[in-house]
Amino acid sequence: MILPGSTLGLLGGGQLGRMFTQRARAMGYEVVVLEPDRLSPAGAVATRHLASAYDDLPALEELARSVAAVTTEFENVPAATLDWLASHVLCRPAASSVAVAQDRIAEKSFLRAHDVVTADFEPVLTRDDLDFAWERIGAPALLKTSRLGYDGKGQELVDRIEDARLAFERFGAVPCVLERRLRLEAEVSVVLARGADGSLAPFPIGENTHRKGILHTTVVPARIDPATASTALTTAASVARELNYVGVLGVEMFVANGGRIYVNELAPRPHNSGHYTMDACATCQFEQQVRVMAGLPLGDPRLLSPVAMINLLGDVWQHGTPRWDRALAMSGVKLHLYGKREVRPGRKLTSES
């Protein structure tokens, strides 16, 4: 076990890293953050901030020397970085698990190979692949870039092959997936922790609403029937086991076609829809991340109170600093500012629960 007083390492300096760092330090750990942005939210609260690129070898060597274990707050750290660190220091989750979630083709192929239900899809590597994929998938569909897509970026609704071709060119003809569009009944997510011993601690299911591809609200408990909820929890646990996953994992799912569960995406880290756990659960997702890294027993994930989480974007700053006093005057409201210096429309800057 890695006990309080030890030092933990973090790749990435965004809001998820900030929340992890704050929780780890409250538990008695020191935290070293590797993040290129000198004004990063996580770097501002870390014990030490290595402001270097993720592939900077001297910085990686310093990180490995300084910490007992490393985790990541986002999935797009270069694979070579994760592989190098894994050969020098304990990494949770493993580089192999993160690699699956970095690429939609790899992710969906992994899920299909393990009999996990997803929307029907075809990989698109070339223009000729797109024509073949369209014959199989057809309209209505979504074309998504295989890498670096998030918050609705890198994806487009397509109803004709001509639309798909134009979207493919706009994306720079990079590898994509063409995915059948489902008639959604609900969007849900399961955030869970899995220890190195295989122990599982799923948080209550969140029911999510998105606006322009960005998570807007999460309501817990999710308003889905018990059988659907049971399938969602079983599916998420199965995915974690098949990945041999060690860490906190977010599993995004669609409910469609009469309550059937379809896995959409995996997040090999704490998840935006899990922020409610900081105020409404016995143990939050960031404490679970610390516990898994340190080899400690998983905490109790039970829900203490029904909760709704709202993401506030940079748009609410258009007329100056929001009146936080009015929000905080409401009974039960908890405010979490992300510590980002640049305010712009569509950027996640805070959440309230």
Over 60: is that where the pLDDT of 347 sits? no
Q: Confidence class of residue 352 from pLDDT cuts 50, 70 and 90?
A: low
The stretches of the chain forming alpha helices (DSSP H) are 15-26, 57-66, 79-86, 95-102, 104-113, 127-137, 161-170, 226-242, 277-280, 285-294, 324-328
**pLDDT (average), residues 164-180:** 96
- Among all chains, which residue has been given the structure tokens 């538990």? 27
Provide the token pair at 231. Answer: 């399938």
Over 90: is that where the pLDDT of 180 sits? yes
CATH 3.30.1490.20 fits 120-180, yes or no: yes
Pick the CATH number of 7-91 from 3.40.50.20, 3.40.50.1820, 1.10.530.10, 1.10.10.10: 3.40.50.20
Over 60: is that where the pLDDT of 137 sits? yes
pLDDT in tens, 291-340: 999 999 999 999 999 999 999 888 888 778 888 999 899 999 999 988 87
> CA dist 225 to 27, 256, 261, Å?
37, 13, 12
Q: Are 7-91 and 120-180 equal in CATH topology?
A: no
Over 80: is that where the pLDDT of 212 sits? yes
pLDDT in tens, 11-50: 999 999 999 999 999 999 999 999 999 999 999 999 999 9
Indicate left, alpha or beta for 13 from its phi (over 0: left) and psi (-120 to 50: alpha).
alpha
pLDDT of res. 152: 61
Answer for the pair 47, 24: CB distance below 8 angstroms, yes or no: no
pLDDT of res. 344: 58
- Give, in degrees to the nearest 5, the angle at Cα 111 between 106 and 112: 100
Over 70: is that where the pLDDT of 345 sits? no
Answer for the pair 7, 29: CB distance below 8 angstroms, yes or no: yes
**pLDDT (average), residues 96-110:** 94
pLDDT of res. 316: 81
Over 90: is that where the pLDDT of 227 sits? yes
> CA dist 260 to 139, 186, 224, Å?
20, 10, 11
Answer for the pair 86, 77: CB distance below 8 angstroms, yes or no: no
Indicate left, alpha or beta for 149 from its phi (over 0: left) and psi (-120 to 50: alpha).
beta
User: Model pTM?
Assistant: 0.93
pLDDT of res. 346: 54
Over 60: is that where the pLDDT of 350 sits? no
pLDDT in tens, 242-297: 999 999 999 999 999 999 999 999 999 999 999 999 999 999 999 999 999 999 99
The residue extents of the domains of the chain are 7-91, 120-180, 184-352
> CA dist 159 to 21, 156, 164, 180, 257, Å?
44, 10, 8, 10, 20
28/196 Cα distance (integer angstroms): 22
DSSP 140: S
Provide the token pair at 86. Answer: 């894994």
Buried b (16+ CB within 10 A) or exposed e, 2-22: beeebbbbbbbbbbbbbbbbb
Buried b (16+ CB within 10 A) or exposed e, 43-64: bebbebbbbbebebeebbebbb
Q: Confidence class of residue 93 from pLDDT cuts 50, 70 and 90?
A: very high
pLDDT of res. 353: 59
Over 60: is that where the pLDDT of 233 sits? yes
**pLDDT (average), residues 2-10:** 98
pLDDT of res. 283: 98
**pLDDT (average), residues 83-97:** 94
Taking the CB of residue 249, how many other CB atoms lie within 10 A of it? 27
How far is Cα of residue 92 from the mean position of the Cα atoms in its chain? 15
277/293 Cα distance (integer angstroms): 19
DSSP 275: T
3-state secondary structure of 213: coil
If you compute the radius of gyration of the chain from its CA atoms, what whole number of angstroms results? 20
Closest by CA position to 196, among listed 326, 294, 337: 294
How far is Cα of residue 35 from the mean position of the Cα atoms in its chain? 18
Q: Which numeric CATH code is attached to 184-352?
A: 3.30.470.20
